[in-house]
């Protein structure tokens, strides 16, 4: 099963396994060291359940092996990361804000790097790196919607609960990625030169458009207004079909060097496999890629 360890500010080793005599875990505040552990364990469990429910996938690598989590990494460490060598998740406590980096979408994001490593193996640079990051945002967001937790409703914002910016804004926006000040809304010849967390914007925007469509709308109380490169109107096919297409492409057609053009080809083939070459879903994939200038 999943296990969660306390690094106690350290940066190496496994740390100390969390245990509790009264089985009352944390209190929802960062001051209680168990709170981050509860969040990490919850994130690992919900991500596992999402993979099983959505894709009949048995764990991150598909082999039934559980990952473990390490919390309280380093001193005021403002990050979280997946490590394939230990098959484990690691979370920092953050700095300048009161929230450890253990929110559900971040947990789903980081563990999905393990999924990518076990399947397409997208190289973590240039356009393939952007696709790697977007894959984690896509599934992290999907995990959050899947959980149906009223305390952290599903949205197309990444890391909105950890408040790294200190002003309540998320790390990333899938409906209009450029709202973060650095991410690309649309493909261009230079997009591969961006940091992978910014070049991912093109695929995040594609996924949002494929799921929900363009224009202004409110979902779970969150307002979105997704533009298109060519001024076109895109009609979404729903998040569940969109993530099935992405998963099929990732696990069947993407390779370590897949770029945006290859992602278009792979997702169209996946849509054809799942829904038919003449289907509305296939047409929607093409329209969503056109709308982010991947043609």
Within 10 Å of residue 40's Cβ, how many Cβ atoms? 27
Looking at residue 1, its pLDDT comes to 84
| Cα–Cα distance, 132 to 134 (Å, whole number) | 6
| Cα–Cα distance, 154 to 116 (Å, whole number) | 22
Give the list of residues 6+ apart from residue 141 with CB closer than 8 angstroms, or none. 105, 108, 154, 155, 156, 158, 174
Q: Which two tokens stand for residue 141?
A: 């967001």
| Cα–Cα distance, 192 to 123 (Å, whole number) | 12
Mark whether 144 is an active-site residue: no
What does the angle CA 112 – CA 114 – CA 118 come to, to the nearest 5 degrees? 120
Looking at residue 79, its pLDDT comes to 95
Q: Which two tokens stand for residue 199?
A: 């070049």
- Residue 121 contacts residue 255 (beta carbons within 8 Å): yes
10, HSE (Cβ side, Cα atoms, 13 Å): 10
From 110, 144, 212, 281, the catalytic residue: 110
Q: Which two tokens stand for residue 151?
A: 């305390």
Q: Label the pairing between strands 222-226 and 4-6.
A: unpaired
Give the CATH H-level superfamily of domain 126-291.
Neutral Protease Domain 2 (1.10.390.10)
Looking at residue 228, its pLDDT comes to 99
End-to-end CA distance of the chain: 44
Looking at residue 70, its pLDDT comes to 98
| Cα–Cα distance, 36 to 59 (Å, whole number) | 22
Backbone angle region of 76, left / alpha / beta, with phi > 0 → left and psi within -120 to 50 → alpha: left
Mark whether 110 is an active-site residue: yes
Give the list of residues 6+ apart from residue 278 with CB closer than 8 angstroms, or none. none
Chunk the chain into consecutive blocks of 10 residues (it has 295) and report each block's average pLDDT, rounded to whole numbers: 96 97 93 96 98 99 98 96 98 86 97 98 99 99 98 97 92 98 99 99 99 99 98 99 99 99 99 98 99 99
Looking at residue 96, its pLDDT comes to 76
Looking at residue 34, its pLDDT comes to 97
Domain ranges of the chain: 4-102, 126-291
Please state the φ and ψ torsions of residue 162, each to the nearest 5 degrees: -90, -20
CATH class of residue range 4-102: alpha beta
Q: Which two tokens stand for residue 97?
A: 């804000």
Looking at residue 288, its pLDDT comes to 99
From 197, 205, 212, 281, the catalytic residue: 197
| Residues 118-139: b if buried by 16+ CB within 10 A, e if exposed | bbbebbeebbbbbbbbbbbbbb
Looking at residue 99, its pLDDT comes to 86
What does the angle CA 241 – CA 208 – CA 205 come to, to the nearest 5 degrees? 130
């Amino acid at each position: 099963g999943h296990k969660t360890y306390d690094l106690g500010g350290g940066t190496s080793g496994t740390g100390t396994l969390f245990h509790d005599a009264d089985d009352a875990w944390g209190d929802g505040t960062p001051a209680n060291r168990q709170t981050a552990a509860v969040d990490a364990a919850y994130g690992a469990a919900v991500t596992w359940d999402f993979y099983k429910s959505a894709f009949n996938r048995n764990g991150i690598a598909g082999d039934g092996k559980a990952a473990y989590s390490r919390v309280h990494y380093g001193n005021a460490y403002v990050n979280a990361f997946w490590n394939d060598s230990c098959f484990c998740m690691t979370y920092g406590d953050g700095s300048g804000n009161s929230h450890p980096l253990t929110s559900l979408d971040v947990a789903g994001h980081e563990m999905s790097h393990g999924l990518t490593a076990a399947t397409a193996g997208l190289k973590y640079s240039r356009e393939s790196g952007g696709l790697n990051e977007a894959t984690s945002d896509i599934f992290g967001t999907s995990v959050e919607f899947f959980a149906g937790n009223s305390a952290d409703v599903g949205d197309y914002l990444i890391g909105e609960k950890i408040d790294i910016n200190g002003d309540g804004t998320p790390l990333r926006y899938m409906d209009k990625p450029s709202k973060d000040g650095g991410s690309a809304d649309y493909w261009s010849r230079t997009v591969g030169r961006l940091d992978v967390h910014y070049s991912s914007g093109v695929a995040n925007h594609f996924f949002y458009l494929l799921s929900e469509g363009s224009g202004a709308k409110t979902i779970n109380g969150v307002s979105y207004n997704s533009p298109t490169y060519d001024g076109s109107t895109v009609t979404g096919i729903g998040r569940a079909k969109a993530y099935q297409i992405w998963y099929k492409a990732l696990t069947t057609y993407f390779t370590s060097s897949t770029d945006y053009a290859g992602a278009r080809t792979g997702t169209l083939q996946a849509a054809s496999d799942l829904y038919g070459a003449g289907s509305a879903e296939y047409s929607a994939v093409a329209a969503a890629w056109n709308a982010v200038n991947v043609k």
